[in-house]
Structure 1
Amino acid sequence: MYDLHTHTILSDGELLPTELVRRAAVLGYETLAVTDHADASNLRHLVEAVSSVRESARCYGVGLLVGVELTHVPPSLIPAFARDAKKFGADIVVVHGETVVEPVAPGTNRAACACEYVDVLGHPGLIAIEDARAAAEHGVALEITSRAGHNRTNGHVARVAREAGCLLVIDSDTHAPSDLMSKEGRWAVALGAGLTEAESREALSVDINRLLQK
């Protein structure tokens, strides 16, 4: 199992990175990305802080991905910030998409989908088909999320991704211990988004290394 979108006390989560990793290990996760909310004020710090936990994650048998979630960053600055995150050592860059429950700046989805340094567009809301096609072209995965509120548009995201040929990932956007999903919970989120069983299996078994080596 994998989760490419989680938060710790380094932003607005409840757990230390190591505790989050441990809880994920107990649930059977093989890959976990720690992607705390980032902007210009903390980008380098987050990458350096999470990088220090790699050895602890190895001890628990979890492949830790050091990441950030660029959050409410002006769309015009997303490419530069995503590039900087990778330069600082981030394995994965998530962008906080245009969810319907927050005032995300219009154009955020488009900027993320067209950026070579972005890996996942989190909770992209009512994403436009042309933006989804850009995501498919640039290897940006769209997220199906279990996060309350953000998950209101999962069905739309699934439908648009199917039409555009986008890669889908299933994430929790974990902030609290109870947010981490079991294997059965992940399956339910995928099917609940309107994915077929075959599409669900594909989304739940994404080759993460391939996604990040675009």
Structure 2
Amino acid sequence: MYDLHTHTVFSDGELLPSELIRRAAVLGYDTLAITDHADASNLGRLVESVAEVRDSAQHYGVNLLVGVELTHVPPPLIPLLARDAKRRGADIVLVHGETVVEPVPPGTNHAACTCEYVDVLAHPGLITVEDARIAAERGMALEITSRAGHNRTNGHVVRVARETGCSLVVDSDTHAPSDLMTEEARWAVALGSGLTDAESRKVLSLDIASAILK
């Protein structure tokens, strides 16, 4: 299993990175991305700090991806910060999409979809077909989420992804221990979003995560 969207005490999560990794390992996760909320004020420190627990992740048998979630960043600055994150050593860059439950600036989805350094658009809300087509051309993924509130538009995201051929990932947006999903919960989120059994199997596989990050 994989989860490409989690948070720790380095932003608004409840767990130290090592405890988050351990809990994920016990649940059977093979790959875990720690993607704390980032902007220009803390991006460098986040990448450096999470990288310090790579050894801990290896001991627990987890492939740790060092990442950030660019959050409420003005759209024109997203390409600059995403590039900076990758240059500082981030394995994965998420952008906090235009969820329907937060005042994310309009244009955020478009800025993420057109940026070569962004890997996943998290909870993209009512994303347009046009932006999803751009994401598909780039190999960027749209996120289906289990996070309350953000998950209100999962069905829309699936429909748009089908129409455009855009990749999908299923993530937890973990902030607390109870947010990490079991294998059964991941299946429920995928099927509940409108994916078929075959589509869910593909979206939930490690192959999809590897393809996005190659």
1:40 matched to 2:40? The reply is: yes
1:155 matched to 2:155? The reply is: yes
Shift of 1:206: 4.2
1:210 matched to 2:189? The reply is: no
CA distance in 2, matches of 1:210, 1:108: 24
Shift of 1:210: 2.4
Kept in 2, the 8 Å contact 1:169–1:206? The answer is no
Three-state SS of the structure 2 residue aligned to 1:66 is strand
Three-state SS of the structure 1 residue aligned to 2:56 is helix
Shift of 1:4: 0.1
Compute the TM-score of the two structures, normalised by the length of structure 2. Answer: 0.99
For residue 138 of structure 1, what is the aligned residue in structure 2? 138
AA in 1 matched with 2:11: S
For residue 67 of structure 1, what is the aligned residue in structure 2? 67
Give 5+ residue unaligned stretches, structure 2.
none
For residue 29 of structure 1, what is the aligned residue in structure 2? 29
CA distance in 1, matches of 2:211, 2:52: 24
Shift of 1:209: 2.6
Q: What does the per-residue CA deviation read over 1:51-72, in whole Å, with 9 as the maximum and x for residues that have no partner?
A: 0000000000000000000000
Shift of 1:138: 1.0
Three-state SS of the structure 1 residue aligned to 2:94 is strand
Give 5+ residue unaligned stretches, structure 1.
none
1:124 matched to 2:116? The reply is: no
Write out aligned runs for 1:175-186 (5 A): 175-186=175-186
CA distance in 1, matches of 2:3, 2:93: 13
AA in 2 matched with 1:138: R
Write out aligned runs for 1:90-109 (5 A): 90-109=90-109
CA distance in 1, matches of 2:210, 2:157: 23
Q: What does the per-residue CA deviation read over 1:138-169, in whole Å, with 9 as the maximum and x for residues that have no partner?
A: 11100000000000000000000010100000
Kept in 2, the 8 Å contact 1:127–1:157? The answer is yes
AA in 2 matched with 1:22: R
Superposition RMSD in Å: 0.6
Compute the TM-score of the two structures, normalised by the length of structure 1. Answer: 0.99
AA in 2 matched with 1:79: P
AA in 2 matched with 1:59: H
CA distance in 1, matches of 2:116, 2:68: 15
CA distance in 1, matches of 2:143, 2:81: 20
Kept in 2, the 8 Å contact 1:36–1:67? The answer is yes
AA in 2 matched with 1:95: V
> How many pairs align?
213
CA distance in 2, matches of 1:35, 1:51: 12
Shift of 1:30: 0.1
Shift of 1:100: 0.1
Structure 1: 4+ residue segments shifted above 3 A: none
CA distance in 2, matches of 1:6, 1:121: 14
CA distance in 2, matches of 1:91, 1:73: 20
Kept in 2, the 8 Å contact 1:2–1:29? The answer is yes
Three-state SS of the structure 2 residue aligned to 1:76 is helix
CA distance in 1, matches of 2:80, 2:160: 27
